[in-house]
Structures are given as C-alpha cells and as structure tokens.
Amino acid sequence: MKFLISAGPTREKIDPVRFITNFSSGRMGYAIANAASCLGHEVTLVSGPVTLPEPENVRTIHVESAAEMAAAIHANAPDADVIIMAAAVADYRPANPETHKMKKMPGELVLKLERTEDILASLGKNKRADQILVGFAAETDDLEQNALGKLQRKNLDWIAANWVADGFGTDTNALLLLCRDGRKVILPSAEKAVLAGKMLDTILS
C-alpha cells in the first residue's frame, strides 16, 4: 500500500532570524514511516525540521512551514491508501512576517497571528471511501473526549491520542487509539519503534 506520513514540527517565520515552533521531535512519525517501510509498503514522509536520520527506503520531503507541509501533503494525498498526520502543525502563524530583522523597541511587542490551514480537516473533507485517514491528538486535559471530538470533526478513521507529558521529545510513549466504528485500543508505554509497529497492526486490521 501507499503510505503518506507527516512528522515533526513546523516553523512559522516572524522575521528572517526568528520563528514560532513547538516541542515535537518527529520521532513518532519517523518510527511509523520506518515501520511501514519495513512491512514492505511504499512510504512518502513529509517532515518538518528535525534532527533525525532519514529513514531508509522512504521518500522524504523536507518542509518548514505549515503552508509548505499543506502543499506537499495535498500533492501526494490523492495517491495514498493510508495517510497518517503525526506532525505537530502550527495552528497559527505571524500574520505579517517581516522581511527585515526586527529591532527591539521600548515597551511590549504584540504579534498578530493568523490561522494556518487545518491539513487533516481538509484531508477528511476530500477523503476517498477506500482511504484510511489517521490523526494524532496530543492533549493535556480530557484525553479521550478531546480525541473523540477531533476524530468526528475531522472525519478520521482512527485517532492516536497521547498525554503531552508522556510524548513530546521522549523515546517512549503510550497511545490510546480510537476508531470511527467505536473500537478503543490502549497501547501501553513502549519505545516509539515498538509502538509504531503495534499501531500499524491495529489500523491495518
């Protein structure tokens, strides 16, 4: 099957030397790309800026911003059988990024932010009936309720939910997998490589 996987954070420019980003390491998305490739699937990985080695036998497309990630995902989505959005895409970007380095001024600085495209929601709207669409939900509160809301709102087949405290930047993670048909699978804390294999087993079952 053809897999399209996103991983890592995005960077949203404030000026030529500054950006807004998040703590995503990309490890979970890269582990899923590796696991899918080892199972013999054809994998395209769209990666934000990370410090991980490129997975073998995977076509990796490097992007920086949410807009670049959206373009790369939309270009490859029509062909994909399974799409897994593991990237921590910025929800907002500076509305007016400066072309010159900003100089400090006395007093406060207020940055105006605008929404980025919700890539996963767009994919959900245009989903083929035979396509499997999987999202992630990193939460600090009401894990199951928030994840279920995202599964329904974004028209997903599966959502992988994790507590932020357990997941960001670490080698291990625990996941709660929720399916649109009501199935609920708990994957206890494990190395992300192990977890990725178990997650694919569940989704492909």
Residue 91 found at the interface with ligand CTP (CB under 6 A):
yes
CA dist 13 and 171 (Å) reads 28
Distance of CA 196 to the CA centre of its chain: 14
- Cβ-in-10-Å burial (0-12, 13-18, 19+) of 133 comes to buried
Residue 85 found at the interface with ligand CTP (CB under 6 A):
yes
Q: By C-beta, is 81 or 91 nearer to ligand CTP?
A: 91
Stretch that binds ligand CTP, among 83-91, 97-105, 165-173, 189-197 (CB under 6 A): 83-91
Give me the half-sphere count of Cα atoms (radius 13 Å) on the Cβ side of residue 83: 28
Q: What is the DSSP letter of 88?
A: B
Q: Is position 22 annotated as part of the catalytic site?
A: yes
Query: Do 117 and 67 contact (CB within 8 A), yes or no?
Result: yes
Candidate residues 45, 150, 162, 176; the one interacting with ligand CTP per rule CB under 6 A: 150
Neighbour tally for 155: CB within 10 Å: 16
Residue 72 found at the interface with ligand CTP (CB under 6 A):
no
Candidate residues 82, 137, 161, 196; the one interacting with ligand CTP per rule CB under 6 A: 137
Residue 199 found at the interface with ligand CTP (CB under 6 A):
no
Chain positions contacting ligand CTP, by CB under 6 A: 66, 85, 87, 89, 91, 116-120, 135-138, 150
